[in-house]
């Protein structure tokens, strides 16, 4: 998970859960996955990032996003840039990555701005976006918008009413027709909606699907590479007994053409 300005415990929001063996996303059967190994092996990635690869499974995630050369991508709440640093070489010189950090996060923890700037200076095709959390100001339509372990934060009780709905509309508006939204987050108990999100920092998978499809998105694929069936999904993700071992879901949505 990545850190949040809302609670001290969110200082480790960059940590992802351990995962079970990956399954492929729902890519067309005729299309071979792109080779993301050069992006994962990029020399500009710091050791602090590469040491987490065994848990975060970047190959599986990048394949699931279906990101390709020339894409315009938004990394929503980029944190220290773990995903940004691989997306940049994945899209190549003809693509762009917009690394988004929320004004609210920077106000709470100024180091977010420093981390964002550090990533920007390392890549010619990464540009900075800093604006309110529910109104990411991407300057051009996106092919792909990725948010990893942040979607639930839009629905915790510390957020102003309506933050989630506003952000979801902003996601839809930010994408080109046919564009892709990928959401990865910690699984809450089935049927719980957002009732335990503030307590557990998790969100109900079906709630995410229902919310995004109601906003006009079409569910295009799911993957279980982050599945942990032994997680009862009733503990706060920062609890020592479960931290780094949470069950997570990966969902891919399309904006209709």
Please indicate, yes or no, if residue 203 is contained in any of the structural domains. Answer: yes
Please indicate, yes or no, if residue 10 is contained in any of the structural domains. Answer: no
Whether the CB-CB separation of 72 and 143 falls below 8 Å is answered with yes
Please indicate, yes or no, if residue 49 is contained in any of the structural domains. Answer: no
Q: Which domain holds residue 227?
A: 57-254
pLDDT tens figures, 213-227: 999 999 999 999 999
Distance in angstroms (rounded) separating the CA atoms of residues 254 and 154: 20
Please indicate, yes or no, if residue 114 is contained in any of the structural domains. Answer: yes
Please indicate, yes or no, if residue 68 is contained in any of the structural domains. Answer: yes
**The model scores a pTM over 0.75:** yes
Please indicate, yes or no, if residue 25 is contained in any of the structural domains. Answer: no
Question: What's the structural domain count of the chain?
Answer: 1
Please indicate, yes or no, if residue 40 is contained in any of the structural domains. Answer: no
Whether the CB-CB separation of 99 and 123 falls below 8 Å is answered with no
pLDDT tens figures, 136-164: 999 999 999 999 999 999 999 988 999 99
CATH of the domain at 133: 3.40.50.150
Please indicate, yes or no, if residue 16 is contained in any of the structural domains. Answer: no
Kindly report the number of other CB atoms within 10 A of residue 5's CB atom.
18
């Amino acid at each position: 998970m990545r850190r949040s300005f809302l609670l001290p415990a969110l200082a480790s929001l960059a940590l992802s859960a351990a995962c079970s063996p990956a399954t492929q996303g729902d890519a067309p059967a005729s299309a071979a996955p792109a080779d993301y190994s050069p992006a994962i092996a990029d020399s500009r990635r710091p050791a602090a990032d590469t040491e987490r690869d065994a848990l975060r499974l970047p190959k599986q995630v990048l394949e699931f996003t279906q990101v390709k050369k020339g894409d315009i991508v938004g990394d929503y709440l980029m944190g220290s840039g773990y995903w940004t640093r691989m997306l940049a070489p994945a899209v190549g010189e003809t693509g762009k990555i917009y690394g988004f950090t929320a004004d609210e996060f920077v106000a709470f923890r100024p180091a977010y701005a420093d981390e964002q700037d550090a990533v920007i200076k390392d890549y010619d095709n990464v540009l900075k976006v800093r604006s309110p959390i529910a109104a990411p100001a991407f300057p051009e339509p996106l092919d792909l918008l990725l948010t990893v372990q942040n979607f639930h934060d839009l629905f915790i009780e510390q957020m102003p009413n309506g933050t989630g709905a506003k952000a979801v509309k902003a996601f839809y508006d930010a994408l080109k027709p046919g564009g892709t939204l990928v959401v990865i987050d910690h699984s809450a108990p089935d049927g719980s909606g957002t009732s335990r999100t503030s307590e557990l920092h998790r969100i109900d998978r079906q709630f995410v699907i229902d919310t995004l499809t109601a906003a006009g998105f079409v569910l295009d694929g799911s993957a279980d590479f982050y599945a942990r069936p032994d997680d009862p999904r009733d503990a706060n993700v920062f609890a020592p007994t479960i931290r780094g071992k949470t069950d997570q879901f990966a969902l891919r949505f399309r904006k209709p053409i």
